[in-house]
Each structure stands twice: as C-alpha cells, then as structure tokens.
Amino acid sequence: MQHKFAAQLSTVRDLCRDDFPQILKELKRMGWAGAQISGLLGYEAREIASVMQEIGLKAAGIHVPLNRLQDELDIVIEEAELFDTKDIVLKVIGKELRTEEGYRSVRRFLNEVARKLAPQGFRISYHNHAFELESEVEGKLALEYMLEPAPDNLVLAEIDIYWVKKGNRDPLLFLEPYINRMPIIHLKDMTTDERQTFAEIGTGSIDFAPILDWCEASGVEWYAVEQDVCPGNPMDSLQISLNNLMKLAEARQSLR
C-alpha cells in the first residue's frame, strides 16, 4: 500500500513557489511515492516532470480548473503525458455553476471530454468539497449526481474524505457506490474540537483504517494526502500524515 501514498502539492504551494524542484526532492526523501500536481506556479511542466522522473516520484494525477479543460485541453493533455499520468481531475467549479443547470452542464461537458480522451487512455474525475452536499439535482445530492455510477456517466470520483465528513455524511458509507470508479482518493483528517478544521492524518476524528480497507478492495490506485491549512510548516504536517499512514498500512499488513 505504501507505494500508493502521494502528497497533494497544494499543501506545499507556498514552498513550491520558492523552489518547486527542491520541495519535490524533499518529499521523495520523506518517503512519498507520488505527488499530485495542482498548478505549476510559474514553472514549466517539462522542468517539473523531468525532476520527478529523475528522482522517481510518480504523478498521482493532475488537478485542473474548468476553464483549462474548456480552453486549453490540448495543453492539459500534453502536461498529463509529460507527467506520465492518465488521470485528469476537475478540482472545483465556480459559484455561478452551483445550480441544477450548472451541475448538469458540467457533468455533460466532463462526459464529452471523457469520451474524447478515453481512446488515449485518459480518465476524467471530479474532486468534491462540501458544497456539493448542500444542494440536489434530479432528487440526488449534487455530488451523487455528478458521480452517478451509470453506464452513460464516465465521470469518476475523487472523494475528499474531510469534505464528506464536513458535510455531515459518514465517509465510509459514502464511498460505497464508487467501487472501481475511483482511481484516486483524497485523505485529510478533521480536528476533534469545535472548529472541525484540517488536521494531519491520524491526529483527528476520522477513522482511516476501515477506509483504507475499503479502498484496497475497491480499485483505488492512489491515496493523495492534502491539508488545506497547516498549523506550522506544511512539510512537517505531511511528515506526520505519512508516518501515521505508514503505521496504518503496516498494521493492516500484519493482520493479513
């Protein structure tokens, strides 16, 4: 399982602006098997991809905003090829699209892109926040509509465990419909106090052991760890999360 642990680079976005290649090297030394790309912060894709290839840090998909899929799809594909990943993930939609018709239009568009890119082996996924759990489309939660496991829906899931819990849903139960429809999952913990804010894996209120068990049985290929806000140095937070994930993986292995 350890070969599936990836750091979501938005966690260290400010550090990457100063020296992206060096941060990648430090993440590799830390023990991460992969990194999930979330913006290049002024660097060239070829440069960053070359560094990752040199140090043996794999790409666990790339996050892109909707406007890039609409206006720069060819460039996005080139970047995915440079990073040797088949996973392109829509990371957020603007407030103006958080309506019934907005969700319908985004799902329709993502399916058009997915059908176009499928012959090349690319996959399109959708990353959630909490707002998709606050409205409905066609009698379903907006997120359930976007990710509906139907033959005509090619949009795959990238469930963010923290945001599902923030939306007052049980993360483990929420995963059930997405067996073999979720190449990448986002892991982040939630503090146990009244703030219910971001925490390092294993230090908060989310029980990750059964979630990892489900993922290993359900086709998940990457565990991307993201912490939107860290209490101190985000590299320290990523180290804590990785250490605790490693312990969970070792405990799981010892029970087999």
What is the pTM (predicted TM-score) of this model?
0.97
Domain ranges of the chain: 2-254
186 DSSP β-pair partners: 160, 224
CA–CA distance, 112 with 162 (Å, rounded to integer) = 29
- Beta bridge partners of residue 185, listed in sequence order: 223
pLDDT in tens, the chain (256 residues): 999 999 999 999 999 999 999 999 999 999 999 999 999 999 999 999 999 999 999 999 999 999 999 999 999 999 999 999 999 999 999 999 999 999 999 999 999 999 999 999 999 999 999 999 999 999 999 999 999 999 999 999 999 999 999 999 999 999 999 999 999 999 999 999 999 999 999 999 999 999 999 999 999 999 999 999 999 999 999 999 999 999 999 998 887 6
Q: Which two tokens stand for residue 152?
A: 């005509």
Q: Given this structure, which CATH class describes domain 2-254? A: alpha beta
